[in-house]
């Protein structure tokens, strides 16, 4: 056979392999997923509900309302409003996922309870109400960009082993975490906004079953991810999920694919979203 023909056949073979590799990579990233968004809030307000309704055009949207005494009437809403009795969480051992509050049961316990027991989505976004989300399709855009990943987050920090952390309050929590988590390496991250996969939620439930309780969620979730070797990405869209910062409006409008924490004023959140919409026209 002519040498040039052999070279041509080999070239076509390698081109075919490359095209297949690129196609497989594309489909892995952009595969259609059944995802949900869960907002966690103390009491429901009109601005949060209005924005959640907009988000519901793109995904199933839930709002966990921690205040069970609030009377809510949203029968025609596209958003699923959940008020879960504290005793129900206690009975099922979904307790103590936070430690900055005196209560054993908070909105986070209720969110974990609902989605760990009703683990029907490929991924669930958990978002506190003081996280600013710029547009209704923000979550869908991030989902399409990163595809199949067990955990989308801001960062991963390795926490000092045992009781060597310089802060006494954290030192105790890290010490306790070894008892509950049964892991050598303890990790921490901000999770005011995060995305958890079906597998990660299943693993959270397993830890709850073993210990008859949850544990501080900022340690619980990343430690499970790292020690169970789940996939994770630290994404720029969540880089502003931090403890405290005062943001400039112009910076938020300029970087309108990012989420921001904390912005506690709902009216300000609405104003910023309006400005972002006007910019895109």
Tell me, yes or no, whether 93 and 4 share the same domain. Answer: no
Q: Give the DSSP per-residue string, the chain.
A: --HHHHHHHHHHHHHHHHHHHHHHHHHHHH----EEEEEEESS--HHHHHHHHHHTTTSEEEEEE--TTS----TT-SSEEE---HHHHHHTT---S-SSSS-S--HHHHHHHHHHHS--SSEEEEEETTSB--STTHHHHHHHHH-S-SEEES--EEEPSTT--SSHHHHHHHHHHHHHH--SSEEE---SEEEEEHHHHHHHHHHHHHHTS---HHHHHHHHHHHTT--EEE-GGGTEE-S--PPPHHHHHHTTTS-EE----HHHHHHHHHHHHHHH-
Residues 17 and 113 in one domain: no
Q: Does one domain contain both 40 and 8?
A: no
* pLDDT score for 11: 67
Q: Do 221 and 85 have their domain in common?
A: yes
The CATH number given to whatever domain includes residue 48 is 3.90.550.10
pLDDT, residue 279, reads 87
Residues 261 and 276 in one domain: yes
| Judgement on whether residues 26 and 43 belong to the same structural domain of the protein | no
Residue 143 sits in the same domain as residue 20 = no
165-169, 175-179, 268-272 — which is least confidently predicted? 165-169
* Residue 230 sits in the same domain as residue 262: yes
**pLDDT tens digits, one per residue of 189-222:** 999 999 999 999 999 999 999 999 998 999 999 9
- In this prediction, residue 101 carries a pLDDT of 61
pLDDT band at 254 (very low <50, low <70, confident <90, very high): very high
Residue with the bigger pLDDT between 158 and 215: it is 215
The pLDDT mean for the chain works out to 88
Between 53 and 168, the more confident residue is: 53
- Average pLDDT on 88-100 reads 92
Range of the domain at 221: 34-280
pLDDT the model gives residue 23: 45
**22, 134: one domain:** no
Asked whether the predicted pLDDT for residue 27 surpasses 60, the reply is no
3 and 134, same domain (yes or no): no
Whether 134 and 41 share a structural domain: yes
Q: What is the pLDDT of residue 32?
A: 78
Number of domains the chain is built from: 2
* 7 and 123 assigned to the same domain: no
């Amino acid at each position: 056979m002519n040498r040039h023909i052999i070279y041509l056949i080999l070239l076509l073979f390698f081109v075919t392999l490359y095209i297949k590799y690129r196609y497989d990579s594309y489909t892995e990233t952009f595969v259609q997923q059944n995802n949900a968004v869960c907002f966690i809030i103390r009491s429901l307000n009109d601005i949060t509900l209005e924005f959640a309704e907009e988000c519901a055009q793109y995904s199933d949207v839930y709002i966990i309302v921690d205040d069970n005494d609030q009377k809510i009437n949203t029968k025609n809403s596209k958003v699923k409003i959940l008020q879960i009795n504290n005793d129900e969480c206690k009975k099922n051992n979904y307790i103590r996922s936070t430690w900055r509050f005196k209560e054993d049961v908070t909105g986070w316990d209720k969110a974990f309870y609902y989605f760990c027991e009703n683990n029907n989505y490929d991924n669930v976004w958990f978002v506190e109400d003081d996280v600013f989300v710029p547009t209704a399709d923000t979550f869908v855009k991030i989902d399409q960009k990163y595809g199949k990943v067990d955990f989308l987050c801001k960062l991963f920090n390795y926490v000092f082993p045992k009781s060597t952390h310089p802060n006494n309050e954290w030192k105790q929590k890290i010490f306790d975490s070894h008892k509950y988590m049964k892991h050598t390496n303890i990790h921490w991250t901000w999770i005011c906004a995060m995305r958890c996969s079906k597998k990660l939620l299943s693993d959270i439930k397993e830890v709850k079953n073993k210990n008859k309780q949850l544990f501080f969620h900022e340690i619980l979730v990343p430690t499970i991810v790292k020690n169970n070797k789940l996939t994770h990405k630290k994404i720029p869209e969540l880089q502003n999920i931090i403890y405290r910062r005062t943001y400039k409006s112009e910076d938020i409008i300029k970087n309108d694919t990012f989420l921001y924490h904390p912005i506690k004023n709902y009216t300000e959140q609405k104003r910023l979203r309006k400005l972002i919409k006007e910019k895109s026209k």
